[in-house]
Structure 1
Amino acid sequence: MRKAIPLVLVGIALSACGPIPTAAQGGPGASAAPSAGPRYAATVLADAPAGYWRMGETSGTTMIDATANGNNGTYAGTITLGQPGALTGDKATAVAFDGHTAGATVPSAPALKVTRVTIELWIKKNSESGYGMYVAKNYFQLLNNSYTGRLEFRVTSTPDPVLVSSTILALNTWYYVVVTYDGTAASLYINGKLDGTHPAVATVPPTDGALYLGRRFDGFFTDAVLEEVAIYPTALSADRVAAHWRVATGNR
């Protein structure tokens, strides 16, 4: 019996996303430059994320926050560190989550009590994992749309599934994914392009609670490789999302 998910979202009408660039070795596009890694990290940090986990660890269980906020997390379950990442450059590894026990947890922190939010990360799915979670906190979640290959973004509690992407994510392919929520509208970007947007129908309360990557507090594990996860206390503009994508792919 499939578990019900007691959270709902902001619904959005979505438009088709452009084609995904041909993947280069370890990266999202053949044009990726050798210095994409350090340039990309600097670009993310310039936009003041509340937490930024590059996930380039090759040993241990600590997931290091690259910001000055000190929001380090902890890996648990069957994770595999040191996997080939999406970016070339100084940090070229990512973390694989097994879809059964693996996850990372960041304890509750003042910087993560957001009412406006941007979720930014790189995703490579290994298999379809139902409602597998990529990023989850009390009142916002980015997850799979139940074996359809699409993504959902959930905000606040209601009984219906909502924000669903038009883009179907292929397996074993890197995608740059950004979701923004400014209290008036939700927007989803895939590979730097707007996939869809919709007026907001709910708010995000500034609550305590841990942040989870690769799972939710009660399960819903995802089978995927993740890296470069950032949470911002603001909604990044379309121009900033596009700028991050250009830097990542070496096309500034």
Structure 2
Amino acid sequence: MRKAIPLVLVGIALSACGPTPTAAQGGPGASAAPSAGPRYAATVLADAPAGYWRMGETSGTTMIDATANGNNGTYAGTITLGQPGALTGDKATGVAFDGHTAGATVPSAPALKVTQVTIELWIKKNSESGYGMYVAKNYFQLLNNSYTGRLEFRVTSTPDPVLVSSTILALNTWYYVVVTYDGTAASLYINGKLDGTHPAVATVPPTDGALYLGRRFDGFFTDAVLEEVAIYPTALSADRVAAHWRVATGNR
């Protein structure tokens, strides 16, 4: 029997946008360009994220925010720093979360009280781990559903599945994932390509509350390597998402 998550969420499912692309088309196995890390970081920062955590730390428990907003976070539980990342170059490593105790928490901050949002990150699943949360805040969540292998983006609350990817994410494979939500539509991009979109029927209220990576406030830990996590207070356009992907892969 499947385990239900106690969430009240807007039930919207993404429309499929064709088969999973090949590596040459930006699908699984697509590789980053040599020294892509510094160029990619500059491109992200140019689009003014509210917080950007490159996750390139090699020691300690502080997760550094690369923006001027100072939204540093704290790692806790069984994490492994310095993991090989999706990008090459400066600070281009990731953090492995163990799926049982590991997570990172960013305290509530004015810059993170958003009504529109873009979630951007690189994900490599190590195993299927229930409803493993990649990014979670009061009114939006990006997670992996281990029963389907698909991504789900959730806004507000219902116990039903919500915006669901058409792509099944393979294990031990890096994916570039972006979700945008502007209050009228939600869109999901995987490896620079639109995976699906659907009209939204709810808004994200600008509330206080911590931001969690690799878990939710009450658990739902993920077993994955994450890096280059960014939260924007706006919905990035498809052109900007594609531009970020091109810089990461060297196809500028």
Normalising by structure 2, report the TM-score.
0.93
User: Residues 77-132 of structure 1: CA distance to partner in whole angstroms, max 9, x if unpaired?
Assistant: 00000000000111221000000000000000000000000000000000001101
Mapped partners of 1:48, 1:219: distance in 2 = 30
CA apart distance, 1:161: 1.5
1:180–1:186 CA contact under 8 A, matched in 2:
yes
2:49–2:231 CA contact under 8 A, matched in 1:
yes
Q: Which piece of structure 1 moves more, 14-23 or 72-81?
A: 14-23
2:57–2:91 CA contact under 8 A, matched in 1:
no
CA apart distance, 1:221: 0.1
2:32–2:86 CA contact under 8 A, matched in 1:
no
1:133–1:220 CA contact under 8 A, matched in 2:
yes
Summarize the Cα distance change of 1:116–1:177 in structure 2 as closer, same or farther, 3 Å threshold: same
Gaps of 5+ in 2: none
SS of 1:242 mapped into structure 2: helix
CA apart distance, 1:13: 4.5
CA apart distance, 1:159: 2.5
Summarize the Cα distance change of 1:61–1:237 in structure 2 as closer, same or farther, 3 Å threshold: same
Mapped partners of 1:31, 1:126: distance in 2 = 18
Summarize the Cα distance change of 1:162–1:99 in structure 2 as closer, same or farther, 3 Å threshold: same
Mapped partners of 1:30, 1:155: distance in 2 = 30
Summarize the Cα distance change of 1:81–1:31 in structure 2 as closer, same or farther, 3 Å threshold: closer
Q: Percent identity?
A: 99
Summarize the Cα distance change of 1:30–1:206 in structure 2 as closer, same or farther, 3 Å threshold: closer
Gaps of 5+ in 1: none
Q: Which piece of structure 1 moves more, 196-205 or 2-11?
A: 2-11
Mapped partners of 1:4, 1:112: distance in 2 = 28
1:14–1:165 CA contact under 8 A, matched in 2:
yes
CA RMSD of aligned residues (A): 2.5
2:133–2:216 CA contact under 8 A, matched in 1:
yes
Summarize the Cα distance change of 1:45–1:20 in structure 2 as closer, same or farther, 3 Å threshold: farther
CA apart distance, 1:154: 0.3
Count the aligned residue pairs: 252
SS of 2:40 mapped into structure 1: helix
Q: Which piece of structure 1 moves more, 18-27 or 237-246?
A: 18-27
Summarize the Cα distance change of 1:115–1:54 in structure 2 as closer, same or farther, 3 Å threshold: same
1:127–1:171 CA contact under 8 A, matched in 2:
yes
Summarize the Cα distance change of 1:16–1:158 in structure 2 as closer, same or farther, 3 Å threshold: closer
Mapped partners of 1:10, 1:195: distance in 2 = 19
User: Residues 5-38 of structure 1: CA distance to partner in whole angstroms, max 9, x if unpaired?
Assistant: 2224444443556777887999976663222100
Normalising by structure 1, report the TM-score.
0.93
1:8–1:161 CA contact under 8 A, matched in 2:
no
Q: Which piece of structure 1 moves more, 83-92 or 37-46?
A: 83-92
2:8 is equivalent to residue 2 of structure 1: no
